[in-house]
Amino acid sequence: MARESRTTDPSGAPYRWELYTAGAIRLVENELDDCLQARCRTQAEYDRFRSLVEARLERASHGGLGVFDETAPEPVVTQPALWEMRWSFGSSRELRMYHAEPETVPDLLFAVKYHWKDFKGLSQADKELRQNTEMAEAAQRFRRSSYYSAPDEENDPN
C-alpha cells in the first residue's frame, strides 16, 4: 500500500529538506541552478522562479500540498518510493523534482533530482522513455545515498 507523502501530511510537520550531494558536489542544488540558468531570460525572472521553488518547498515542509478531503498522490516511482513535485512557469516550462522520504528518518524530505519536463516534438514513446530515464536516475541517486535501506526482497539472493 502506497504511503501518503509527508508533503501532504501536516500531522508530522515541520519536515526538513536535504538535497542529494555526490561527495563534495552539490548535485541537486547545481541541477536546479542549471535548469533555471538555461531557461530564464532575465535576472528578475531567475529570482522569481527560484523564489517560487523555495516557497513551495517551504509549503511542502509544513505538509501543506494536499487537499484535506482528496486522496493524496501516490509515489511516481516505487522501490524505492519517490514522489514528484511540480512547478509551472507558463505553459512551456514545467519543472519537476523527485524526492524520497526515508522511513528511518521521519522528518526528512530528501530531494534527489530536478529536471525540466520539456518533451516538445517527441513521440509519446520517446516522452515516456525520457521521463523514465529521469526517474531511474533519481532512484539510482537515492539508492546511492546513506538514507537508503534496501527492502528484504532486494537483499534476498533468491
At its nearest, how many Å lie between another protein and the CB of residue 52? 5
CA dist list (Å): 145 to 23, 26, 70, 139, 142: 10, 13, 32, 10, 5
Closest CA to 106 of 12, 5, 10: 12
Distance CA 35, CA 31 (A): 6
Kindly tell me which of 12 and 126 has the beta carbon lying closer to another protein: 12
Q: Which of 12, 34, 74, 126 binds another protein (CB under 8 A)?
A: 34
- Kindly state whether residue 58 participates in binding another protein, applying the rule CB under 8 A: yes
Q: Which residue has the cell 526538513?
A: 16
- Kindly state whether residue 54 participates in binding another protein, applying the rule CB under 8 A: yes
Kindly tell me which of 52 and 105 has the beta carbon lying closer to another protein: 52
What residues between 63 and 92 interact with another protein by CB under 8 A?
64-70, 85-88
- Kindly state whether residue 13 participates in binding another protein, applying the rule CB under 8 A: no
DSSP run (H or E) holding 124: helix 124-144
- DSSP letter at 97 equals E
- Positions that interact with another protein (CB under 8 A): 30, 33-34, 36-37, 40, 42-44, 46-48, 50-52, 54-56, 58-59, 64-70, 85-88
